[in-house]
Amino acid sequence: MADEVYCGYRIKLIVSIEKNGKFTSRNEILVPSFYRYLDEARADIEEDIRHRLRTSYYFRSQRVGYDLVRYSREASLNTYMAYRIIPIKQKEKVESS
């Protein structure tokens, strides 16, 4: 079996809703941007997190596996966000083009 060859990276954004202490839904969104280098994807995630912290009601999440959280007023319906970097194989890039 040959070694896997990656040609770049994409970002998967995971948005989960917590209602009354239990997660009720989870959506995964594959961001359309393609990054040739891992550092580019990391920098984009860091910038997006900084932007959300600065301009919206998101905070750093204390829950393992999530980067950000937005609390509702009564904290019974909260939105959690996580960023994941997904390596893309050469074959996958050709198929998605």
Q: Taking the domains of the chain in order of start, what are their residue ranges? A: 6-92
According to DSSP, residue 79 is labeled: E
Residue with token string 């997190």: 49
Q: How many residues does the chain have?
A: 97
The answer, yes or no, to whether residue 4 has pLDDT greater than 80, is no
Residue 95 to residue 23: CA distance in whole angstroms: 34
The answer, yes or no, to whether residue 49 has pLDDT greater than 90, is yes
What is the arithmetic mean of pLDDT over 43-64? 96
Tell me the pTM: 0.82
pLDDT band at 76 (very low <50, low <70, confident <90, very high): confident
Q: Which secondary structure element, helix H or strand E, spans residue 10, and what is its range? A: strand 6-19
The answer, yes or no, to whether residue 1 has pLDDT greater than 50, is no
Is 47 in a helix, a strand, or coil?
A: helix
What is the arithmetic mean of pLDDT over 6-27? 94
